A and B are shown apart, each in its own frame.
Chain A
Amino acid sequence: MKVVVIGNGMVGYKFCEKLKSMAPSVELIVFGEEIRPAYDRVHLSEFFAGKTADDLTLAGLDWYQDNNIRLHLGDPVQSIDRTAKTVHSHKGIIESYDYLVLATGSAAFVPPIPGVDKQGVFIYRTIEDLEMMNAHARKAKTGAVIGGGLLGLEAAKAMLDLGISNTQVIEFAPRLMPRQIDDAGSNILRNKLEMLGLKIHTSKNTSEISGGESITGMQFSDGTSIEVDMLVISAGIKPRDELAKLCGLETGSRGGIVVDEKLQTNDPSIFAIGECALYSGMIYGLVAPGYEMASVVAENLASLPRTGGVVPFGFKEITNIAEFSGPPPSGGRVAFTGYDMSTKLKLIGIDVASFGDPFLTGENIRTVVFEDTMKGIYKRINISADGKELLGGVLVGDAEQYNMLLQTCKNKLVLPPNPEDLVLGSRGGENLAGAGVQGLPDEAMICSCETVSKGAICNAVSELACETMDAIKKCTKAGTGCGGCVPMVKDLMLYTMKSQGKYIRNILCEHFNYSRQEMFDLVKLHELKTYNEVLDKLGKGDGCELCKPPVASILASLWGEMILKKGNDTAQDSNDRFLANIQKGGTYSVVPRIPGGEITPDKLIVIGQVAKQYNLYTKITGGQRIDLFGAHLNDLPDIWGQLIAAGFESGHAYGKSLRTVKSCVGSTWCRFGLHDSVSYAIRIEERYRGLRSPHKLKGGVSGCIRECAEAQSKDFGIIATEKGWNLHICGNGGSKPQHALLLAADLDDETCIKYIDRFLMFYIKTADTLTRTATWLNKMEGGIDYIRNVVVNDSLGMAQAWEAEMQTLVDCYKCEWKEAIENPEIKKRFNHFVNAPEVKDPTVKFETMREQKKVADWK
């Protein structure tokens, strides 16, 4: 069978993917008008937010090649000969077909306003359009968009991203997004957009675009006008049906290729899918229904008998599955029966969603509305008069409940006695609104981009043992389209696992059936010293990147031996293996330890000299030290040799280990300082330097309550009081900042260090891999009170042992870099090429920025 596809947009691509997955041997030829293979048009505006055309590409050219698809890009088909069953392309290619699929999509609808042909007037449809907008935007100061619908607002966001902060939206209808949301929702949306700096005009009809060669302004039919030097028209779409018309296929009076529920046109060999298809009087201008159409046609074509490659009779005549000579396709012949146009999107950071019929009113309809003009939230649900069925609704400003509401609506789930709980949340009482994911029927469509039902997801978890999101994505494709269903898929996964009585245990990976905590105790008990011994004794198989770093970390925490010895080098995470952080481009950064942030002028000069000699980019870090970037792997031993000769040592910036103990200048200089915070910070940093732990560790010491060292954002933070030190633990900066909690007050120097010893050992022994102290605390039953009981009151009787263990680690500390450069076996690993040690990686490229080098951006 030979299939020709005209159009290589999202839907055309999806058709190829579906057909090739079901019938790999089909001969498939694709003609595309654009010069790029199909890309993600839904996320087009991200092009301005930094994504490249490549990022948006759905599948690279090699995908087409690998799947044996002949792709002609930049070569639009110009005519179809239905009698000869051939298509004729612009470049003169003539291709015959058994079946032809039209996926020609749509074009922007441009209203016939005088002046639309002026320079500076754009449509918003393809990457080329965007590139032209980009070029023009550099000289534009004021922008406007005609169209306040979904695409128009996307275009307005694109204008903001292009730096045109003075942008106006012109909508003909009395409200924004007239097809999706009601007046009240639209008002909330409008307020929010205006707060972001967009100017919105509704009920406004553009009568003329003024200017000479280029646009300078717009005139409206109400006599008003505005000045503007860039305009994007996004007033709707019109189906690309010109080819179909030309060859006499039936088209609708307002455009669109007429198709039946098989997406078949009036020529049984020709199908139309996506935005060019007119099904039951309707054009579906969203990607999900387009994908559904692509699936329907692909499945029906794939299920045809393949005798000699050509189907002996017209497709339309096959009415009985029994007439197929091949095995019947799964589920029999499929049909497109319309599509729910519910949608949820984020417009310039504002959630907007509508589902079912959002506009229902009348005697038989009950409506629940929640409106908060302060926060800019509007929610409306339409319910049947008996209060049992959800018929539709609108969400603006907060669409968290969208997935659940959509499922409730689509599956006609019986509503709870207080349906308002669906949008307001349960207030008081214990019953949660609705029944959650478990209440959904198996047929409930969870991922509409890839048409994956609840049943299919639960089945993947229970029968095919997919117990991670990655596994589920791979197996069912759910969540791989727009990604909106991912939270729900995750809930379903956890729910299914739980219902199977699965105890969700944090084992390291497939090679070790133990948690990190269990591993720690077992490695200690068996006195295992190398990764291979641990794997032989406690695990199975040959290890992987998930278990190697935690095991290597446990070995280092327990025995304090040089991490690159005894064959443990290749068990280290890559940064630990090379004792440096790998950076973009493959070079490394060098971070010498500067305890407490105190450094002499001579040492500063050495850092400057080394940076100059090896042409390194220098920057002060957040932890009061200096980072030197852009070192070739080959140069690391020499760089460290010089630094060590000048009295520096490794800063362990590459390890899950103590980073810095930050300090304020303290009582030596500061008129408010109570104690010498710098001396104490240095003492503490030098005590715990090199200590390997489940995650990185940071400390801080402040000389008074003004807290200039920000100690309360650290894993352990010490603040001077009149009587001693207050010790706070388990603070965190990062993405989820959390203040450290007070463990004990008014401690003397020695007691404070004792408590930190115990606290750190407790953490190292019991935390999961890559868990910071803040998360460890949050998961700990009993919280800070329990930890205080263990650390201060010694409720487990471990205090002495932990202090001794910590002292052993402190005593066996050695600078890793010193050992590395003194050991020829280790030193020789710091070469890029094993067979050309003198050659540095020639692919590394630098650029200049503010008089220093920077690495060339990655592709």
Chain B
Amino acid sequence: MITLTDQKKITWFAACQISDVPANGGVCVKYGDEQIALFHFARRGEWYATQNECPHRKQMALSRGMIGTQEDEPKVACPFHKKTFSLATGQCLTGDECNIKTYPVKTEDGKVFIGIEGGL
């Protein structure tokens, strides 16, 4: 777990251009053999990244899900069975599915960067 006092080294990799990501939607980013779902929550001016796999049925689908909020908590709904997960913490908001992994995101010069703990 990352805490403020125990922050590991983050490697930022350029995922795509800002314009590649639909406003208020997601895309899937390939990082080696990993699949990362990247979301541009344009209404809130926020970017999020999570694992692309939905832990419920192990489907690579979260990037195709609808995003939104639940009591101001940003979330994504899996297209398969509408399990929802917090984009901020990765916590499952419906039922008892496992939480999902989240990644930090930043934008610079029109590009979107995803932060990987430890890096390549």
Q: Which residues of A contact B (CB under 8 A)?
A: 60, 62, 470, 510-511, 532, 535, 541-549, 567, 569-571, 573-575, 577-578, 582, 584-586, 829, 832-836, 839, 841-843, 858-859
Nearest chain B CB to A475's CB is how many angstroms away?
14
B9 interface hit (Cβ, 8 Å) = no
Cβ-neighbour of B61 out of A570, A586, A834, A836 (below 8 A)? A586
Q: Which of A60, A544, A834, A841 contacts B68 (CB under 8 A)?
A: A544
Give every chain B residue within 8 A of A571 (Cβ-Cβ): 24, 66
Asked, given contacts A470-B94, A858-B57, whether A834 binds B43 with beta carbons under 8 Å apart, the answer is no
By the criterion CB–CB under 8 Å, are B70 and A532 in contact? no
Do B43 and A542 have beta carbons less than 8 Å apart? yes
**CB pair B64 A834 closer than 8 Å:** no
A573 pairs with B66, CB closer than 8 A: yes
Instruction: Give the docked Cα–Cα distance between A144 and B102 (Å).
Output: 53
Contacting residues, chain A, for B21 (C-beta < 8 A): 834
Q: Given the complex, which residues of B lie within 8 Å of A582, measured CB to CB?
A: 61, 64, 79-80
Output the least CB separation between B109 and chain A (Å). 16
Q: Which residue of A lies closest to B75 (CB)?
A: A544
User: Are the C-beta atoms of B58 and A858 separated by less than 8 Å?
Assistant: yes
Interface pairs A-B: 7 shortest CB-CB: A544-B68, A570-B25, A574-B79, A545-B77, A834-B27, A545-B66, A833-B30
Contact A545 B68 (CB under 8 A): yes
Cα A585 to Cα B79 in complex, Å, equals 12
Given A541-B69, A575-B79, A858-B58, verify A839-B64 contact (CB < 8 Å).
no
B37 to chain A, nearest CB (A): 10
Known contacts A569-B22, A586-B60; decide if A543 and B27 are in contact (CB<8 Å): no
The residue in chain B whose Cβ has the minimal distance to the Cβ of A573 is B66
Q: Would A570 and B64 count as touching, CB distance under 8 A?
A: no
Q: Roughly how many angstroms separate A407 CA and B41 CA in the complex, as a whole number? A: 50
Chain A residues with Cβ below 8 Å from B35 are 833, 841, 843
Judge whether B29 and A835 touch: CB under 8 Å. Answer: yes
CA distance A571 to B65 in the complex (A): 10
Q: How many Å lie between the Cα of A648 and that of B54 in the bound state?
A: 34
Main secondary structure of the interface of A (DSSP, over half): loop
Q: Are B59 and A542 in contact (CB under 8 A)?
A: no
Residues of B close to A574: CB separation below 8 A: 64-66, 79
Task: Assess the B15–A834 pair: CB atoms within 8 A.
Answer: yes
Are A570 and B30 touching (Cβ within 8 A)?
no
Residue picked from B28, B44, B71, most chain A C-beta under 10 Å? B28
Taking the closest CB of chain B, its distance from the CB of A858, in whole angstroms, is 5
Q: Given the known A-B contacts A544-B75, A574-B64, A834-B29, are A567 and B69 also in contact in the complex, defined by CB atoms under 8 Å? A: no
Once the chains are docked, how many angstroms separate the CA of A574 from the CA of B25? 10
Chain A residues contacting B67 (CB-CB under 8 Å) are 570
Q: Which residue from B58, B68, B75, B95 sits with its C-beta under 8 Å from A859?
A: B58
B10 CB-CB contact with A under 8 Å: no
Most central of A548, A570, A577, A841 by chain B CB within 10 Å? A570
Sampled A-B contacts (29; CB under 8 Å): A470-B95, A510-B71, A535-B43, A541-B72, A542-B41, A544-B68, A545-B66, A546-B68, A548-B68, A549-B66, A569-B22, A570-B22, A570-B25, A571-B24, A574-B64, A574-B79, A578-B64, A582-B80, A584-B59, A585-B59, A586-B59, A586-B61, A829-B22, A833-B30, A834-B16, A834-B29, A835-B20, A843-B60, A859-B57
Q: Report the Cα distance A574→B20, complex, angstroms.
A: 18
Within 8 Å of chain A (Cβ to Cβ): is B38? Answer: yes
Nearest neighbor of A567 in chain B, beta-carbon distance = B23
Query: Could you tell me if A542 and B74 are in contact, using CB atoms closer than 8 angstroms?
Result: yes
Q: Is the CB of B28 within 8 A of A833?
A: yes
A841 to B68, CA, bound (A): 25
Closest chain-B Cβ to A824's Cβ sits at a distance in Å of 12
Known pairs A545-B65, A834-B21; list 10 more (Cβ under 8 Å): A470-B94, A510-B71, A541-B69, A569-B25, A584-B59, A833-B29, A834-B15, A834-B16, A841-B60, A843-B60
Chain B residues 8 to 55 lying within 8 A of chain A, measured CB to CB, are 15-16, 20-25, 27-30, 33, 35, 38, 41, 43-44
Q: Which residues of A contact B75 (CB under 8 A)?
A: 544
Indicate whether B86 reaches chain A with its CB closer than 8 angstroms.
Answer: no
B82 an interface residue at 8 Å Cβ cutoff? Answer: yes
A542 touches B65 (CB 8 A): no
A161 to chain B, nearest CB (A): 24
A38 to B18 alpha-carbon distance, docked (Å) = 47
Contacts A541-B72, A586-B61, A834-B27; A548 near B15 (Cβ below 8 A): no
- Closest chain-A Cβ to B80's Cβ sits at a distance in Å of 7
Q: How far is the CA of A842 from the CA of B43 in the complex (A)?
A: 32
Question: B29 touching A544 by the CB < 8 A rule?
Answer: no
Chain B residues lying within 8 Å of A858, measured Cβ to Cβ, are 57-59
Chain A residues with CB below 8 A from B27, complex form: 834
A151 to chain B, nearest CB (A): 28
Which residue among A549, A573, A575 has the maximum number of chain B CB atoms within 10 Å of its CB? A573
B74: chain A residues at CB < 8 Å are: 542
Give the chain B neighbours of A842 by CB distance below 8 A. Answer: 33
Q: Quick check: B60 and A532 within 8 Å, CB to CB? A: no
Say how far B49's CB is from chain A's closest CB, in angstroms: 12
B102 nearest CB across to chain A (Å): 16
Cα separation A546 to B66 with both chains bound (whole Å): 9
* Bound CA–CA A470/B44 (angstroms): 27
CA distance A470 to B67 in the complex (A): 20
